[in-house]
C-alpha cells in the first residue's frame, strides 16, 4: 500500500487505471499462499471483492479478488481439481480465506437501518434482520482460518459466465437465477434459501447429481461439506483450527 506524497498517490492511481498493480503485494502470513500462483487454471470469481454479493457492495478486507488459502488447503484443492478433470469437470472458487473484518461487516450489515442490499437475489423471502437467527450469517466464520472454500462445479474448459445484476432469485429456475456455470447446482452460490441445503429434496435430479460429483471430489481430498450450503467445504485437518486471521487480501 502506498503512503505519503501526492506523487505516490498519482502513481497508484495510474497503476490502477492501467490495470497494473504495485510492484509487489504484501507478504502473506507463514503457511498461506495465493492459489493463482500455484494453479492459475482454476477459475476464480471472488464475489466479496465486487458489488455482486448479498450486501450489494464490495466487502471490507477484500482489496482484490484473489483466492488466498493455507498451503495445505491449496494443495488439497489442486488435487480435487485434478480428480475432477479426469471426469471432464473443474472447480470455480467464490470465496477462500475471509478476513475477520469481513465477517464483522456482515454482522453490522444485518442491523437497521442498513445500506445496500441485493436481497431480491440472494435472500428472497427472508428478511435481512432474520438472517442471523436463521443461521445464514454467523458471528465467526471458518473462512477466517484460511482452510475453508466456497466452490462450484463447471465443465472443464468452460468459458467464464458473466453474472448480471438483474438476475432473478438465487433459488429460482436455472434459466433466470445468477448464471455461474453451465451446470445446474440447484441454487446459485450464497443463496440464503432452504434449497441450498445439500440434500434438499426439491432440486432436480441433474442438480443432485452435480452436487454429488462436487462433494465426492472434495471429500476424497480431505474436505468436509456443510449441510446447509452445497458450496461450503472445510479441510478436515486444517493447520489453524483455532486461529482466525484478519490480514487484507491484496
Q: Which of 81, 221, 229, 238 is labelled catalytic? A: 229
* Residue 229 bears catalytic tag: yes
DSSP 43-89: EE--GGGSS-STTSSPPTTBSSS--EEEHHHHHHHHHHHHHHHTTTE
- The Cα 45–Cα 188 span in angstroms is 13
What's phi and psi for 160, nearest 5 deg?
Answer: -60, 140
Measuring CA to CA, which residue among 103, 80, 72 is closest to residue 240? 72
- The Cα 233–Cα 248 span in angstroms is 22
- The Cα 95–Cα 146 span in angstroms is 10
Question: What are the catalytic residues?
Answer: 229
Amino acid at each position: 500500500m502506498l503512503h505519503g506524497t501526492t506523487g505516490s498517490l498519482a502513481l497508484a492511481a495510474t497503476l490502477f487505471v492501467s490495470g497494473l498493480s504495485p510492484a509487489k503485494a504484501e507478504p502473506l502470513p507463514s503457511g498461506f499462499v495465493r492459489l493463482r500462483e500455484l494453479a492459475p487454471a482454476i477459475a476464480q470469481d471472488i464475489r466479496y471483492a465486487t458489488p455482486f454479493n448479498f450486501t450489494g457492495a464490495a466487502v471490507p478486507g477484500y482489496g482484490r479478488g484473489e483466492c488466498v488459502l493455507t498451503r495445505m488447503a491449496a494443495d488439497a484443492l489442486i488435487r480435487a481439481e485434478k480428480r475432477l478433470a479426469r471426469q471432464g469437470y473443474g472447480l470455480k472458487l467464490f470465496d477462500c480465506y475471509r478476513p475477520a473484518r469481513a465477517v464483522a461487516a456482515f454482522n453490522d450489515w444485518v442491523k437497521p437501518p442498513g445500506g445496500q442490499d441485493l436481497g431480491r437475489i440472494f435472500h428472497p423471502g427472508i428478511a435481512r434482520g432474520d438472517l442471523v437467527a436463521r443461521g445464514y450469517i454467523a458471528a465467526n466464520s471458518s473462512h477466517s482460518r484460511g482452510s475453508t472454500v466456497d466452490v462450484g462445479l463447471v465443465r472443464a474448459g468452460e468459458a467464464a459466465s458473466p453474472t448480471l445484476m438483474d438476475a432473478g432469485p438465487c433459488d429460482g429456475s436455472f434459466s433466470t437465477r445468477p448464471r455461474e456455470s453451465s451446470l445446474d447446482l440447484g441454487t446459485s452460490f450464497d443463496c440464503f434459501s432452504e434449497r441450498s441445503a445439500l440434500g434438499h429434496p426439491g432440486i432436480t435430479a441433474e442438480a443432485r447429481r452435480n452436487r454429488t460429483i462436487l462433494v465426492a471430489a472434495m471429500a476424497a481430498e480431505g474436505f468436509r461439506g456443510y449441510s446447509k450450503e452445497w458450496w461450503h467445504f472445510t479441510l478436515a485437518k486444517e493447520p489453524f483450527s483455532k486461529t482466525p486471521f484478519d490480514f487484507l487480501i491484496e
